[in-house]
Amino acid sequence: MKRQKLLIILALALAFTIAATPLALADVNVNSDNGNAHTIKVWPIGTKTDTGTPIVTSTPANLFILHTGSECIENVWLLIVIDEPTYMHLDQIAINGTKFLGKTDFTLVTTKDIPPTSPNHMTGYPGVTWQYTVSAVKSNMGLNNKDKIYYAVKYFLPKISTKPTDFVFTVTLTSPSSIKALVLGMGKADTNEYLPFYGIDCFNDQLDRFTSFSKGTLVTPEIAPLALMASPFAAFGLIKIKRRKK
């Protein structure tokens, strides 16, 4: 009888340990830009080669989003980071011709990592189990550490798979300025397909699948191809766009 009680106590302890593991992940900031968690790709349509950095394209950008792993990804959000000139002159960011984000949706980055791990019940944001290091974000946008950046997170799609979903991403400004907008995807792995009873979704709804920088897209004004061949970021500060027609 004592042995049976001991086995029951051990089994319950193991169950609680497994259940608590996903929650503990929220406190872990993994700075490496690889691994099984980085399986969401947001690229310009027609892109086939990984350059090791975000793929640069112009606005309006014809993009696709997909998942490179085996499981389905649910509750897909976009993390969009813009530099200060883009923020100061931003009118809106549209997806497929419909307003997706406005200037007031963006927040000045004052932390070392983004986005927040904690959920926001007012917006429905579920939080994340992993964060991007701000210095790495700035580096991949061609910025210096002293440069200001702003970020926004917003729900995008209910689900994605290995089949690409196409969309048009457009940055519109109120007056001429340079543009830098980094587009990254985040989502939740549908683990209940494999763990119908003890699935981690029962304990943790935080987003746990992300876009590595090399699988993301940096949206700019129209690109001068020859200048970019010499230096991927050299021409960004010189390129301007026309004032939006009223």
pLDDT per residue over 183-233, tens digit each? 999 999 986 654 443 333 434 689 999 999 999 999 998 654 433 333 444
For 84-164, list the strands marked E by DSSP. Answer: 90-95, 98-102, 107-108, 113-114, 132-133, 149-160
From CA 63, how far away is CA 86, in angstroms rounded?
Answer: 20
pLDDT of residue 134: 98
* Structural domain spans, the chain: 2-238
What does the mean pLDDT of the chain come to? 80
Taking the model in full, what pTM does it have? 0.76
Instruction: Let me know: does 18 contact 180? Beta carbons within 8 Å.
Output: no
Q: What is the pLDDT of residue 35?
A: 56
Q: What percent of the chain has pLDDT over 70?
A: 70
Question: How large is the average pLDDT for residues 105-110?
Answer: 98
Q: What is the pLDDT of residues 124-144, one digit of tens each?
A: 999 999 999 999 999 999 999
Tell me what pLDDT residue 69 has.
85
Tell me the two tokens of residue 53.
């950095």
Residue 43 pLDDT > 90, yes or no? Answer: yes
Residue 151's CB: how many other CB atoms inside 10 A?
22
Assign 175 a pLDDT band (cuts: 50, 70, 90): very high
